[in-house]
Amino acid sequence: MKDHFDHFLASRHSRKNGGCSNSSNSSTLRYSSMSKKQKNRVTGVEKPLDRISQLPEALLVQILSLLPTKDAVASCVLSQRWRYLWNSIDSFLFVGSNFKKAENFISFVDHVLMHSTCPKIKKFHLHLDYTSDLNFEWRISRWISFAVERKVEDVVLC
């Protein structure tokens, strides 16, 4: 498809310049400088509308707050707009079984709480699978303190 498109642009460019076309390089440059809308129009490919990204930020944060925290954080790769939305979630569901190693789980929880900008927490659920780690108790205490400082409404530890 791209070769066909490059050929199309080259022939179009050639006609504009009196039949002189220096290479397909110019058509590639022209294609790369087009906006996404222009590319879609030329190639005939129509992308589906991303309606969820058009929702107000507060609603997107509310939706992310309903997800397990790992999934909410993963949403940051969807687009530039979604990059930091997870920082504002007010409900946290940390599930240890979603991580292969206790160290990864600990780092993840620390990272999320360190970057949280929400002043008040509605829900803080911590599902632990790592009970033999001796360094784990003080971390749990620190995480609970974080939630209490933010006036948490609902805490679950299991």
Q: Are residues 64 and 26 in the same domain?
A: no
Distant-in-sequence, close-in-space partners of 102: CB < 8 Å, separation ≥ 6? 96, 130, 133, 136
Local confidence pLDDT in tens for the 158 residues of the chain: 444 444 444 444 444 444 444 444 444 445 556 566 655 566 666 666 678 888 899 999 999 999 999 999 999 988 888 899 999 999 999 999 888 888 899 999 999 999 999 999 999 999 987 666 557 788 999 999 999 999 999 999 98
Tokens of 98: 């979603």
Q: Are residues 109 and 147 in the same domain?
A: yes
**Nearest of 94, 118, 97, 122 to residue 108 by alpha carbon:** 94
Considering all CA atoms of the chain, what is the largest pairwise distance in Å, rounded to the nearest integer? 78
Q: Are residues 98 and 148 in the same domain?
A: yes
Domain coverage including residue 116: 52-157
Q: For the chain, how many structural domains are there in total? A: 2
Residue written as token pair 């039949």 = 19
Q: Are residues 34 and 58 in the same domain?
A: no
